[in-house]
Structure 1
Amino acid sequence: MRVLFSSTEGSGHFNPLIPFIDACAARGDDVLVMGPPKLEERLAARGQPYRIGGEPPEAETTAIRERFAQVSREEAAVLIDRELFGRLCTAAMLPALEDACREWRPDLVLREPCEYASAVAAERAGVPHAQVAISAARIEAGALRLAAPALAPYGGQLVERLRESPYLTRFPASLDPSPYTVTRRFRESAGAPHAPLPDWWDGSGEPLVYLTLGTVAGGLSTGAAAYRSALAALGGLPVRVLLTVGRATDIAALGPIPPNVHVEAWVPQADVLASADLVVCHGGSGTTFGTLAAGVPLVVVPFFADQPANARLVDEAGAGLVVRPSGGAGDAMPELGPDDLPLLRSAVESVLAGPSYRAGARRLADEMRALPTIDELLDSLT
């Protein structure tokens, strides 16, 4: 079987496709992965066949990002879902994806939900297509609803066909009921054995708190300030803190680091989760649901995009607590204000002391482990 994969540039968008790419390659399927130029370094490093499509004009994407921080959360969602993903990215990637469908003739197209050009090309070529979830289903259904006006030029039935195409998600039904017509859930393989973390805390046996704001927030102009605020809240607590800031953040800009904190640019998430007692994060889907799959509770500090919705899911499931940032001038990207720091500190103490939060996370992890494997899911698609 020939399987074409397609993604936009973000790691959080591409990463959910990786287990499917690896599973198809292990089965002996022919694989072709496509993405925009900013994804090329990652695709080249993986060693599988790939092609690079187009990207929107830099001036237009820069204008969207500049407006993003100035508008309300609702307006920001329109900018990203409709203008960036629906209009600009679709138009930029479509020629290369149409060429691939015509020349390479895939039997199946697997895409991440924000990459629409591959679905347009698959529809035109008569190729079955499915989407691999990034976020909770109702979030992605809402994003498709916002993108619909930008997708209308590609055919009146396209949006309905996207709603009807198989929606593949690793999120459990109890946490993430789906509005999609065909929803198929799966579990990822256990992968390689976890490597133990170095003893960065000189033999301390205090609970381990993993602090991360993901790859996007850490690279924003407000990222260093958010990390400094979080460290001010966690410094001095009887815990070990591992902070990862991503490669776009200057660690020196964080200022003095509390003695109980160790900072790294990046550590494999699976290695950290194998030892963590608690994760403090922004609520990005990769971090949130990876943490829940490991049975670890969370304190979620949501800033933008799908993060507030993911935070609500964690709270409703009893798997953690939410601290909503109150500072900042705009609604789309609030900041951790001084009044938020005691709330964050208290939330960390409460989750570590309350066994019900770990029980809630473990209940979800058990549900996720009972789902079919990716190989079983692929068999059902072909």
Structure 2
Amino acid sequence: MRFLLVVPPLAGHVAPLRGVASVLAARGHSVSWCGPVPELSTLVSGRVFPAGDSRPFAVALRPPGLRGFAALKYLWESYLVPLADAMVPGVASAVASFEPDVVVVDQQAMAGALVAERCGLPWATSASTSTELADPLSALPKIASWVGDLQAGLRARHGVLLGDLRFSPHLVLAFTTRALAGPSRLDVPVSYVGPVLSAEPGEWSGSDGRPLVVVTLGTSNASAGTRFLAESVDALAGMPSVQGLVVDPSGTLVSEGVRLARRIPQVAVFAQASVVVCHGGHNTVCEALAAGVPLVVAPIRDDQSMLAQQVVTAAAGVRVRFDRAKAADIRAAIESAGQYREGASRIRESFEAAGGAEEAATRLESLASP
């Protein structure tokens, strides 16, 4: 069988599909990628079909202060829709050349859905984050209608009648579990396969025997997170009973009592951690909970607020204000995190039972079967 994976050049969106692609290839299938180059070529291995140029409207160009509807408006008008328009010709060329049996489409690469529908190919949605599964705009009908109109314009320009391009009527792969995300509100088949963790190499042997508390906001939030990281350093400096590790990609922080690092092998470090303080990015949340580690979540933007709420609802962690939390607030949250260890363990067990990349590959194979 032949599988074409259509993705944006965003590491967090590509990450779960790398593991799925490896399983499919190990089972003897042919797998190719499609998306903007050269960015995508730096994130994946194997054959990459070029589709569009994301640089003129890269999500990284978004003004850092945008929140709420302003951030959503920017995402759709300045990134998702123009990226889809730009990618369609390349995706169509890839389909004609590669002749896939199934197209796998990330939710932020709607060109894959447009071309698959136009060609009559079965396709699956890759939901790299779980927030859309709860249909968050259902309580905001005017905004939902606005998003619908943007999609209607896309469909009209590319000759497609399908409804919501974010959700395949054939299969939605949700890289989470119901135990964390709750039940889907979508009227499409959703398979909760659990997260596919990074297989990044690396070990970490920096433990000094005290409980390890890790603070990370991800590399894309380095500039916006300076204040919060500095407060976290102060919080940990006042907690001599724990070992603090703060990830500071900028390398600007200074501390004698708290360990600082520009980058860490997260999976390896989280396996030794007692508490993880993070921004609520889907991959970071799942990597921590896969190790059964309770969380302190300080959401910054986009889907992170909803992921933070999922963590709180699942009793797997506590939430603090990213823009207002002081050292004392962060310290109190870290000290309270122990009571959420049981909830974090329940999520870990649900992840282990879900099947991950192997289950996702099996679901995709079923779409290609006659």
TM-score (norm 2): 0.86
Q: Which residue of 1 aligns with 2:270?
A: 273
Residue 367 of structure 2 corresponds to 381
Within 5 Å, give how 1:267-346 maps onto structure 2.
Answer: 267-325=264-322, 335=323, 337=324, 340-346=326-332
The aligned residue for residue 119 of structure 1 is: 113
Aligned-partner Cα distance in 2 for 1:208–1:194: 21
CA distance in 2, matches of 1:172, 1:78: 29
1:169 aligned to 2:174? yes
1:179 aligns with 2:185: yes
The alignment's TM-score, normalised by the length of structure 1, stands at: 0.83
* 1:223 lines up with 2:229 in the alignment: no
Q: Counterpart of 2:335 in structure 1: which amino acid?
A: E
* Residues 293 and 345, structure 2, Cα contact 8 Å, conserved in 1: yes
Q: For the residues of structure 1 that align with 2:200 and 2:34, how far apart are their CA atoms?
A: 29
Contact 1:293 1:365 in 2 (8 A): yes
**How far is 1:281 from its partner?**
0.2
| Cα deviation digits, residues 53-111 of structure 1 (max 9, x gap) | 212462x5589613x62x5412211211x213431110111110011112211111112
Q: Which residue of 1 aligns with 2:32?
A: 32
Deviation at 1:379, TM superposition (A): 3.4
Taking the aligned partners of 1:379 and 1:270, their CA distance within structure 2 comes to 28
> Is contact 1:299–1:323 with CA below 8 Å preserved after alignment?
yes
Alignment check: 8 A CA contact 1:194 1:270 kept: no
In structure 2, C-alpha distance between the alignment counterparts of 1:193 and 1:85, rounded to whole Å: 28
Is 1:210 matched up with 2:228? no
Q: 1:291 is matched by which residue type in structure 2?
A: A
Task: Return the alpha-carbon distance in structure 1 between the equivalents of residues 301 and 87 of structure 2.
Answer: 26
Provide the C-alpha distance between the structure 2 equivalents of 1:118 and 1:140, rounded to a whole number of angstroms. 22
Contact 1:139 / 1:309 at 8 angstroms: preserved in 2? no
SS at match of 1:158: coil
Judge conservation of contact 2:198–2:267 (CA < 8 Å) in 1.
no
Counterparts of residues 1-382 of structure 1 (less than 5 Å) = 1-37=1-37, 39-43=39-43, 46-56=44-54, 58=56, 61=58, 65-66=62-63, 69=65, 71-80=66-75, 82-138=76-132, 141-142=135-136, 145=144, 147-153=147-153, 154-155=155-156, 157-160=161-164, 162-163=166-167, 164-176=169-181, 177-180=183-186, 181-187=188-194, 196-199=203-206, 204-218=208-222, 221-237=223-239, 238-245=241-248, 249-251=249-251, 253-254=252-253, 256-259=254-257, 261-325=258-322, 335=323, 337=324, 340-352=326-338, 354=339, 357-372=340-355, 373-382=359-368
Aligned mates of 1:25, 1:8 — CA distance in 2: 21
Change in Cα spacing, 1:279 to 1:57, as seen in structure 2 (3 Å) is closer
Change (3 A) 1:140 1:13: farther
Going from structure 1 to structure 2, the CA distance change for 1:298 and 1:158 (only over 3 Å counts) comes to same
Q: Could you tell me how far 1:362 is from its partner in structure 2? A: 0.6
Q: Which amino acid aligns with 1:99?
A: S
Residues 348 and 311 of structure 1: CA distance in aligned 2, closer, same or farther (over 3 Å): same
**Alpha-carbon distance in structure 1 between the residues aligned to 2:178 and 2:40:** 34
Contact kept? 1:209, 1:240, Cα under 8 Å: yes
For the residue of structure 1 that corresponds to 2:177, the secondary structure is coil
Number of residue pairs aligned between Structure 1 and Structure 2 = 351
Q: Provide the secondary structure at the position in 2 that maps to 1:110.
A: strand
Is the Cα–Cα contact under 8 Å of residues 137 and 178 in structure 1 kept in the other structure?
no
Distance, in Å, in 2 between the alignment partners of 1:4 and 1:230 is 43
The alignment-based identity, stated in percent, is: 30
Letter in 2 for 1:239: V
Unaligned 5+ segments in structure 2 are 138-142
Q: Any conservation in 1 of the 2:280–2:304 contact (CA below 8 Å)?
A: yes
**Unaligned ranges ≥5, structure 1:** 326-334
User: Structure 2: how far apart are the matches of 1:195 and 1:57?
Assistant: 31
CA-CA distance at 1:346 after TM superposition: 0.2
Partner of 2:13, secondary structure, is: helix
Deviation at 1:224, TM superposition (A): 2.7
**2:12 and 2:283 in contact (8 A); partners too:** yes
Inter-partner Cα distance in structure 2 for 1:53 and 1:316: 39
Per the alignment, do residues 317 and 258 of structure 1 end up closer, same or farther by CA in structure 2, a change over 3 Å counting? farther
Q: 1:101 & 1:41 partners in 2: Cα distance?
A: 18
- In structure 2, the CA distance between the partners of 1:366 and 1:169, relative to structure 1 (3 Å rule), is same
